[in-house]
């Protein structure tokens, strides 16, 4: 990490302070933010119910991608094996492993 000089620190600090001062000087900003909170939709009960009904995992889930191009992978859970073809999921798993 490069060293931070006093000059750079003062410049960045003063720019941050100026941004905060400008935002606080806007007369309608707090009212606008509170109105946006009041108009926000309520949480979806179906999503909450879906999360509550999700079964708990008692054993680890292992994904073995056999062919990245076609998205073929084997999922192992306990002594069971499932074969799945999902190129999008295979690419996301591969990208997460990098």
Quick: pLDDT tens for 32-79.
555 555 555 555 555 556 566 666 778 888 889 999 999 999 999 888
pTM: 0.43
Tell me which of 17 and 82 has the higher pLDDT. 82
Q: What is the pLDDT of residue 67?
A: 92
CA atoms within 13 A on the CB side of 5: 3
**CB atoms inside a 10 Å sphere around CB 60:** 8
Mean pLDDT for all residues in the chain:
74
């Amino acid at each position: 990490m490069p060293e931070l000089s006093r000059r750079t620190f003062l410049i960045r600090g003063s720019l941050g302070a100026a941004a905060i001062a400008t935002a606080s000087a806007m007369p309608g900003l707090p009212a606008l933010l509170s109105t946006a909170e009041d108009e926000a939709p309520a949480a979806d009960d179906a999503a909450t119910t879906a999360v509550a009904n999700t079964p708990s995992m008692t054993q680890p889930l292992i994904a073995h991608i056999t062919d990245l191009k076609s998205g073929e992978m084997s999922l192992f859970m306990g002594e069971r094996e499932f074969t799945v073809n999902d190129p999008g999921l295979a690419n996301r798993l591969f990208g997460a492993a990098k």
